[in-house]
Amino acid sequence: MKKLQWFMAISIAFSVFACQQTVDQQSATEKIIEKPSITLTNDRITPEVLWAFGRVSDVKVSPDATTLLYGVTYYSIEDNKGNRELYTINVDGSGLKRITTSVKSEFNAIWRPDGKKIGFISSESGTPQLWEVNPDGSGKQQITNVEDGITGFQYSPDQTKILYSKELPKKNQFEDLYKDLPLATGKLNNDLMYRHWDSWVESISHIFIADYNGKEIANDKDILDGEPYDSPTKPFGGMEEVAWSPDSKTIAYTCKKKTGKDFTLSTNSDIYLYNIETGETTNITEGMMGYDMAPTFSPDGKYLAWESMERDGYESDQNRLFLIDLQTNEKIYATQSLDLDVRDYVWSNDSESIYFICDVQGTHQIYHYQLTNNSIRRITEGLHDIKTIAIAGDVLIGQKQSMALPTELFAFDIQTGEERQITFTNKELLDQLTMGKTEGRWMTTHDGQQMLTWIIYPPHFDSTKKYPALLYCKGGPQGPLSQDFHYRWNFQIMAAHDYIIVAPSRRGVSGFGQAWQEQISGDYHGKSMQDYLTAIDIMAKEPFVDKERLGAVGASAGGHAVFYLAGNHQGRFKAFIAHDGIFNKETQYLETEEMWFVNWDMGGPFWDFNNETAQSTFKHSPHHYVQNWDTPILIIHGEHDYRVVYTQGMAAFNAAVLRGVPAEFLFFPDEHHFVLKPQNAILWQRTFFNWLDKWLK
Q: What distance in Å separates the CA atoms of residue 51 and residue 682, rounded to the nearest whole number?
A: 9
Q: Active site residue: 308, 317, 641, 672, which one? A: 641
Q: How far is CA 215 from CA 50, 117, 149, 225, 694, in A?
A: 41, 11, 17, 26, 61
Q: Is 446 a catalytic residue?
A: no
Helix (H) or strand (E) holding 220: strand 217-222
At residue 452, φ and ψ (nearest 5 deg) are: -80, 130
Instruction: Determine contact, residues 153/121, Cβ cutoff 8 Å.
Output: yes
Q: Is 130 helix (H, G, I), strand (E, B) or coil?
A: strand
Q: What distance in Å separates the CA atoms of residue 476 and residue 486, rounded to the nearest whole number?
A: 15
How far the first Cα of the chain sits from its last, in Å, is 30
Instruction: Determine contact, residues 17/491, Cβ cutoff 8 Å.
Output: no
Cβ burial 337-374 (10 Å sphere, 16+ → b, else e)? ebebbbbbbbbbeebebbbbbbbbbbbbbbbbbebeee
Distance of CA 237 to the CA centre of its chain: 11
Residue 54: which residues within 8 A CB-CB, separation 6 or more?
35, 72, 73, 74, 406, 425, 426
At residue 286, φ and ψ (nearest 5 deg) are: -55, 130
Number of C-alpha atoms within 13 angstroms, CB side, residue 648?
A: 35
Nearest to 209 by CA among 254, 113, 144, 117: 144
Nearest to 447 by CA among 560, 528, 360, 561: 528
Nearest to 629 by CA among 666, 660, 586: 660
Q: Active site residue: 560, 569, 637, 673, which one? A: 673
Q: What distance in Å separates the CA atoms of residue 74 and residue 425, rounded to the nearest whole number?
A: 11
Edge to edge, what strands does the sheet with 270-275 contain? 242-244, 250-255, 270-275, 281-283
Edge to edge, what strands does the sheet with 67-76 contain? 55-61, 67-76, 81-90, 97-98
Nearest to 455 by CA among 504, 418, 410, 490: 504
Q: Is 537 exposed, middle or buried (0-12, 13-18, 19+ CB in 10 A)?
A: middle
Q: Active site residue: 344, 556, 601, 621, which one? A: 556
Q: What distance in Å separates the CA atoms of residue 370 and residue 376, rounded to the nearest whole number?
A: 6
Nearest to 255 by CA among 301, 223, 280, 297: 223
Q: CA angle, corner 81, sides to 77 and 87, nearest 5?
A: 105
Q: Is 556 a catalytic residue?
A: yes
Q: Is 460 a catalytic residue?
A: no
Q: Is 292 exposed, middle or buried (0-12, 13-18, 19+ CB in 10 A)?
A: buried
93: left (phi over 0), alpha (psi -120 to 50) or beta: left
Sign, CA dihedral 242-267-309-601, equals positive
Which residues are marked as active site?
Answer: 556, 641, 673
